[in-house]
Structure 1
């Protein structure tokens, strides 16, 4: 069967990407090997001096909190917006580079690093703009036998990682992507785009449009699903056990 090739434009600091995890995880579980996912780090926040989100009226850290609160209310995902008062993050570039450094060890290393960074900032209020926090996460992944911390540390500020991240930034710009999350889906000779926080029903509609024979209505066994992921939030489990509220943003 032909695969769905997907470029996933995102950023570790993007609250809407974290909000979208339940739907994306369900999609990945159902499509299994038919989904080929490539991560593109979009570089949401280089620094506050150059940041101005006119759509959400955000130009300084304290203004980011209400947006995170909104993402929490709409999605149901656990998000600690108080970090923007207590310990504001000053850049997402380091976290993006950490994901690329993880990718140099393995695809699993890349995904695990992205997930752990998101959990750290969204749920645990850790400042992912600090090297110590990123290395602490690398240590946790080493304990889980997912990557080698010494290698990760060497890669993190290497020319190779800088080049990979620059390629991602260039790819984001060339594709005209200005909002995260965005999925560019390639199937046969067509390209489809899904932008922003979307309910699973919209993902299902898009993928069924590409392949009318696709069945995304499978009843998922809760235990099998739970064992498929290192960690699941309550909201992620809710996505497969009952129909959550259908909101998009």
Structure 2
């Protein structure tokens, strides 16, 4: 059986924008391919801190807006900050995979909604 590997990060705006297309592809190919997600880390707390967090947030909000214009994905009207790390959300998403595809898809969607709908990234264990 053919294996499809989806590399993703719960807090990546391109992954958020690609979600509907990937969902359709998974549904279309269901039973004919083995689909596997690999979680990457786009934001890491070991990165150098921004010299001006407000300016970085404004830049990132424009970046997300540009991606949303391209992908037609919804976006939050305001981002509170740039995520400090995507490790916590990636760990949660990977753990949800152990509970089956339905739970994994719902958890991943909810994690993405924290930043791209609510504007508050799920970037801490709490």
TM-score by length of 2: 0.82
Residue 72 (structure 1) aligned with residue 72 (structure 2): no
Decide which of 119, 122, 125 is 1:128's aligned counterpart: 122
CA change 1:81–1:5 in 2 (3 A) is farther
Tell me the SS of whatever aligns to 2:29.
helix
1:87 and 1:44 map into 2 onto residues whose CA distance is 15
Per-residue displacement from partner, 1:222-249 (whole Å, max 9, x unpaired)?
xxxxxxxxxxxxxxxxxxxxxxxxxxxx
Classify 1:46/1:81 alpha carbon distance in 2 versus 1 (closer, same or farther; 3 Å). Answer: farther
Shift of 1:122: 0.9
Name the structure 1 match of 2:26: 28
The SS at the match of 1:120 is: helix
Matches within 5 A, 1:71-110: 71-80=67-76, 82-83=78-79, 86-110=80-104
Indicate how the Cα distance of structure 1 residues 49 and 31 shifts in structure 2: closer, same or farther if over 3 A, else same: closer
Q: Which runs of 4+ in 1 moved over 6 A?
A: none
* CA drift at 1:51: 7.9
Does residue 47 of structure 1 match 2:41?
A: no
- Report how far residue 48 of structure 1 moved: 6.6
Gapped regions of structure 1 (runs ≥ 5): 53-59, 133-249
Question: Hey, what's the Cα distance between the residues in 1 that align with 2:46 and 2:62?
Answer: 17
Partner of 1:4: 2
Separation in 1 of the partners of 2:77 and 2:13?
10
Cα root mean square deviation, aligned: 2.4
Does the CA-based 8 Å contact 2:60-2:82 persist in structure 1? no
User: SS of the counterpart of 2:63?
Assistant: helix
| TM-score, length of structure 1 as denominator length | 0.44
**Which of the pair has more CA radius of gyration?**
1
CA-CA distance at 1:47 after TM superposition: 2.1
Number of residue pairs aligned between Structure 1 and Structure 2: 122
Sort the Cα spacing of 1:106 and 1:75 in 2 relative to 1 into closer, same or farther, 3 A.
Answer: same
Which residue is equivalent to 1:171?
A: none
- The alignment status of 1:18 with 2:27, answered yes or no, reads no
Relative contact order: is structure 1 or structure 2 higher (C-alpha 8 Å, sep ≥ 6)? 2
Answer yes or no: is the 8 Å Cα contact 1:68–1:81 preserved in 2: no
